[in-house]
Structure 1
Amino acid sequence: MRLLLTGSSGWLGRFLAPRLRAEGHVVIGLDVARGADTDVIGSVADRALVERTFGEQGIEAVIHAGALHKPDIVRYPESAFWQVNVEGTRNLLEAAVAAGHDRFLFTSTTSLMITAAIRAGKAGGAAEAAWLDEDFGPLQPRNIYGVTKVEAERLCRQVHEESGLAVAVLRTGRFFPEDDDTHSVPSGPNIKANEFLNRRLTVEDAAEAHVVALEKIRALGFGTFILSAPPPFVREECVELLHDAPAVIARHFPEAPELYARLRWTLPASIDRVYDPSRAERLMGFRCRTDFAAVLDALARGRELPFAHDPAYVSPKEPIEQRG
């Protein structure tokens, strides 16, 4: 199949393009930045470019992974988010319908599910951690990134209902390699390791989920799926997770406190949210391979951590001076 992959020069794209080719697909990459897997330089907001690419490249399906993200909020005006994340998605959906496609993948984010109240957590008066599945709502995203992703998801559903185009909306948890842009303590690797308890997956698992969704969504018609490492917790632990997360973690992983102590790492004192990715496993047969147990196993064996960490990473779309 000839696939258009947007965001092909980005962090996900550089893992996803080779994985798709390994499945026998021809991948046509589109990105505003040059990259090894990018064939067309330009923006999805450029409708003429999108239509020309479809015609010249014989595109048969779309994986729309390109977007402006949360770190871009300090770099770009809100209008750019509407142009890229919303109008760009509209351009691709309408081109796919016009071309008679039977499937479309949209890379969304779990970030759009986080309200100001959830983010405030215990300090904001919450009684328990939020257990987040695809039925959670109403969606009240706290920034322009989330707002435009919600609108793009709405367009995906609308086009599916009007045209019958099969659409998979993949709400990915965190898989970026750089340091957190709002927290510097604990260390980057420590934060990432902790996040495998409730909100992170590897970029390799994110790429694999797209490969699976490309195969499965045609039969499903439409689906929204959270992608995150499977949490070890159950809903009944949400009160304790918010108020004494280390006790809950130690109950599931008795070895964790000692392994963390060796590195002078800290377990999260409070967990304010848990993403539930069970629908993806139930309906698509997809489950992340790397979870918190895999992180602890690497620590116990003295092996390399099973996730990427690159504090110097900057999106390739940014000026060279910012990328070092």
Structure 2
Amino acid sequence: MRILLTGSSGWLGRFLAPRLLAAGHQVTGLDVAPGSHTDVVGTVADAALVDRVFRDHQVDAVIHAGALHKPDIVRYPAQEFVDVNVTGTLNLLEAAAKAGHDRFVFTSTTSLMISEEVRAGKAGGADKAFWLDDNFGPLKPRNIYGITKLSAEHLCRLYSKLHDMDVAILRTSRFFPEDDDTLTHPAGPNLKANEFLNRRLTVEDAADAHIAALANISGLGCETFIVSAPPPFDHSDRAELMRNASAVVAEKFPQAMELYRERGWVLPDIIERVYDPSKLERLLGFRCKTDFAAILGALAAGDGLPFQHDPSYVSPKERSGALC
């Protein structure tokens, strides 16, 4: 297929584009910043540009991975988020509908599921960890990023219904390589390793999930999927995760405490939310390869950690000074 990949210069795009090519697809990359897999430099907010790309490259399907993200809130005004995340998605859906596309893959985010109540967790009076699956709600995004991504999801659902287009909405959990922009303890790799218990995946798994969605969404209509490493917990663990998460982890992984101690790491005291990606495996046949057990396996073997960590990472659009 001839695939239009938006966000082709970004962190996900640099892993996704080669996988699409390896799967036999032709890829046209669209991004505001230049990159090795970007053929067209421009913004999805420009409807004329989107239409020209469809016409010139005879696009068969879209993977829309380009967006402004949560860290961009301090760099861009709210209107830019509306222009890129909402209007840009609308432009792509309009073009896809006019071209008669039968499928569309949209990269969304679990961030839109995190209301102030969920974020507050135990401090807000919750006595159980929140279990976040595709049915979780009501959704009350807490910032412009989440609001615009949820609005874009609604557009996907509308266009799927109006134009009989199968749409995979992939709410990805964390896979960024840089340090967290708000959390400082535990630092760096320790925090990322802990997050594989409940809210992280590798960028490689994120890319592979998009490939699976493109191949397997046909006939399913519009479906929303949580994309995250499979958690080792179930609903019966929710109360104890809020009281003493490290004890729950130690019970399920007896070697974890010693492996962490050898590295000077700490397990989480509290886990206030758990992402459930089981629908992704059930409907699309995809399961992330890297989970918390894989992290412990790498620690035990003395191997390199099986996830990307680069505290100096800066997105291409910021390096290039590109405007969305």
TM norm structure 1: 0.98
Find out whether 1:104 has 2:108 as its counterpart: no
- Tell me the equivalent position of 1:200: 200
Q: Indicate the SS of the match to 1:4.
A: strand
- Tell me the equivalent position of 1:213: 213
| Matched letter for residue 211 of structure 1 | I
The aligned length equals 322
Superposed displacement of residue 320, structure 1: 5.2
Superposed displacement of residue 25, structure 1: 0.2
- Tell me the equivalent position of 1:153: 153
Find out whether 1:170 has 2:179 as its counterpart: no
- Tell me the equivalent position of 1:15: 15
- Tell me the equivalent position of 1:83: 83
Q: Indicate the SS of the match to 1:12.
A: helix
CA deviation map 1:7-44 (0-9, x unaligned): 00000000000000001000000000000000000000
| Matched letter for residue 146 of structure 1 | G
Q: Indicate the SS of the match to 1:219.
A: coil
Find out whether 1:47 has 2:43 as its counterpart: no
What is the rounded CA distance, in whole Å, between the counterparts of 1:287 and 1:78 in structure 2?
A: 35
Q: Indicate the SS of the match to 1:308.
A: coil
- Tell me the equivalent position of 1:185: 185
CA deviation map 1:192-227 (0-9, x unaligned): 000000000000000000001101111212211000
What is the rounded CA distance, in whole Å, between the counterparts of 1:45 and 1:239 in structure 2?
A: 44
Q: Return the structure number with greater relative CO, CA threshold 8 A, min gap 6.
A: 2
Q: Which moved more, 1:16-25 or 1:219-228?
A: 219-228
Q: Indicate the SS of the match to 2:117.
A: helix
- Tell me the equivalent position of 2:244: 244
What is the rounded CA distance, in whole Å, between the counterparts of 1:61 and 1:126 in structure 2?
A: 43
Structure 2: stretches of 5+ with no match in the other structure: none
Q: Indicate the SS of the match to 2:3.
A: strand
Superposed displacement of residue 321, structure 1: 8.7
CA deviation map 1:283-313 (0-9, x unaligned): 1110000000000000011000000000000
Flag as ranges the 4+ runs of structure 1 deviating above 3 A.
319-322
Superposed displacement of residue 62, structure 1: 0.2
What is the rounded CA distance, in whole Å, between the counterparts of 1:65 and 1:216 in structure 2?
A: 18
Superposed displacement of residue 319, structure 1: 3.7
- Tell me the equivalent position of 2:114: 114
Structure 1: stretches of 5+ with no match in the other structure: none
Q: Indicate the SS of the match to 1:155.
A: helix
- CA gap of 1:21–1:321, structure 2 versus 1, over 3 A, is closer
What is the rounded CA distance, in whole Å, between the counterparts of 1:321 and 1:19 in structure 2?
A: 27
Superposed displacement of residue 243, structure 1: 1.1
- Tell me the equivalent position of 1:59: 59
What is the rounded CA distance, in whole Å, between the counterparts of 2:319 and 2:21 in structure 1?
A: 29
CA deviation map 1:96-115 (0-9, x unaligned): 00001110000000000011
TM norm structure 2: 0.98
| Matched letter for residue 111 of structure 1 | S
Q: Indicate the SS of the match to 2:4.
A: strand
What is the rounded CA distance, in whole Å, between the counterparts of 1:110 and 1:84 in structure 2?
A: 18
What is the rounded CA distance, in whole Å, between the counterparts of 2:66 and 2:130 in structure 1?
A: 28
What is the rounded CA distance, in whole Å, between the counterparts of 1:254 and 1:300 in structure 2?
A: 12
What is the rounded CA distance, in whole Å, between the counterparts of 2:283 and 2:320 in structure 1?
A: 42
What is the rounded CA distance, in whole Å, between the counterparts of 2:237 and 2:68 in structure 1?
A: 35
Superposed displacement of residue 86, structure 1: 0.2
Q: Indicate the SS of the match to 2:53.
A: helix
CA deviation map 1:80-109 (0-9, x unaligned): 000000000000000000001110000000
Superposed displacement of residue 259, structure 1: 0.5
What is the rounded CA distance, in whole Å, between the counterparts of 1:184 and 1:75 in structure 2?
A: 21
Q: Indicate the SS of the match to 1:105.
A: strand
| Matched letter for residue 38 of structure 1 | T
| Matched letter for residue 31 of structure 1 | D
What is the rounded CA distance, in whole Å, between the counterparts of 2:321 and 2:160 in structure 1?
A: 42
Percentage of pairs with the same residue: 67
What is the rounded CA distance, in whole Å, between the counterparts of 1:235 and 1:79 in structure 2?
A: 40
What is the rounded CA distance, in whole Å, between the counterparts of 1:320 and 1:112 in structure 2?
A: 28
* C-alpha contact (below 8 Å) 2:156/2:222 kept by paired residues: no
- Tell me the equivalent position of 1:123: 123
What is the rounded CA distance, in whole Å, between the counterparts of 1:293 and 1:80 in structure 2?
A: 40
Find out whether 1:317 has 2:317 as its counterpart: yes
What is the rounded CA distance, in whole Å, between the counterparts of 1:68 and 1:299 in structure 2?
A: 34
* C-alpha contact (below 8 Å) 2:33/2:320 kept by paired residues: no
Two-structure CA RMSD over aligned residues (Å): 1.0
Q: Indicate the SS of the match to 1:86.
A: helix
| Matched letter for residue 25 of structure 1 | H
